[in-house]
Structure 1
């Protein structure tokens, strides 16, 4: 775009001199020049021509002088870089001009070589400022996009360019969390739109805050379902431990949310959580126009199927052995060897437990009954029956008891 300069001066001969001096640049489209006779005319011209890049203004003019014009220009939202022209001996005005934000000054009579040099310097400064603003705007847009996926601190680093290589598509070892809500389709069909919108926004907002507190990455939110990654885009050596801790906090938050909604007469479903760890293809799959940081691969599919397995098992959280083995001080109980849809080999799964439940006597009773079931011991059935008799609210124990009563043996579980 051709740089445009507004000259503000009431000397009648100045316009002809300026046009003569810069005729070649004007002819070649390298410069555009406009003129105004005083400060008021200059402000009117700038209002009609906001594309003007810079102003060169005399001080002594009728109606509005150059210092008053300079003050008006500095008060405007789009501040114009201004060169003030004054008589050589008028240093007090020059100091005032510089204090009011003038970029530079020239003395009269004007040395046109000096004028040309000063204009070129000012235009370079203007271009530099525009580049800074452009990069700032890009960073703000990037931060807005990244904030949908990453914790605020990580989003700032990525928007600033740090760790940007983590955004590129690559194979990474990750821990993956999938969450979903039971009965959400029925809620969608029965709830008023304004009620559903408020519920879902509060739920997703609260769950996302928990995820970000553990420095997890939100890969996708599809309706009520949330897909979370750990160890991407940045390195998190303890990613399995983080994922388990995050799942516990998500479970607690979701249960509290359900209680709050029930008090308001809303039957909000239970949140189910599945976790698996392994290699996945991770990165920005949005092409040149969109930002879509997500992950693909068998690891992702298994995590999603573990989430769905909770429905049959009666559990709220189900994790694979790869997570249980990698997480520090993992506390939980075995679920069994799950035959997940689309897999030919069984996958050992566990139910992670919070400290109080892990330390409870019922967990030791369950471990003993499970060991008997794994060994094919007929005593497994009465052991689970006794456990359910004392803890009727233990859905996983009830699930195994029903299996055994229906003739199942061992710990291999075929899921629908």
Structure 2
């Protein structure tokens, strides 16, 4: 994609109103439009910082980032004046740190960009995923962001190879706007017109499926009773007892199907991903009970590494089971992945692995015809697919903690280390 076809974050296209997830949802009564919400931030910002009761019909609330450590350290006035109305003083202090002051966007946009009056912490870009841009936002202009991150490295993180050639003003502006918005320093919104059209999608919070059903249940129950869609204001002058009756009816009508669809959809996706990990193309109904679940139980019982074991299975050949040396060598290679080798019962682990591999080999051989259209032998095709589904390098918690320590200690070297880790994650998922 050419640079000319890319746009900064403030100019990313917004979905049409009909495709917006809030199009037919009811906002919190404290602020029903972006305009009301901006006024709320100016006059009563504490509403979004404390718990408050919301209307039962509300499905979502407008929110903005507020990247300050909690509890807030609200200092007394610098001039030493006494504070008579503490509540009003707190509201003013919060409002001064809300993003309410408009500044120009980098490019023409339906959204406006707002900054706070008295909140300007240092903001440093420490990482940016090229694959995320490529796959999700290929039209996002990040300016000179990658140049400022330096070359990813583990061996020379303290070296200095950050760009020496000054970036163009356009590149620098696009990069800074990206940092400001993603860090929460700046907020994008438009307080004019329809709320469904002019609100940045990353400013949205939604409830889970059951909460959504609970909120919609009265409407579902009422429409079921009347047999038609109800107009706005349909709850006016309706007794609470009747609304509760409709809520109960709505839940009865939908809950079972909702949970069934959610569970079936999750199970189907889980099965699809598990088949990719196991290098299987045909979906058999008993694969979960005969292969996937027994393998997971085996891994837990013998404390074998999850990712490492699945990666090793990419190199498994069903024919190896008929040759004692090859079979034993493969099983030993899996047992080497045990996280606690001092406590493993090797003989029992070998026996369990051998039994499971017999089942797996038979299952792999049963679908040999499914692999006749690719390049190479069945084993080669399966290995290639399984490598893609089971990356060689997995970002472990201890690695991440070490990187975080480095970033906190020295951001310039830390971001190069983090960049290298991201690079390794991406590259090793392909080999």
TM-score range, shorter-chain basis? Answer: under 0.3
Greater RCO structure (CA 8 Å; 6+ sep): 2
The TM-score, its normalising length taken from structure 1, stands at 0.22
Structure richer in strand, relative to its length: 1
The TM-score, its normalising length taken from structure 2, stands at 0.22
Structure richer in helix, relative to its length: 2
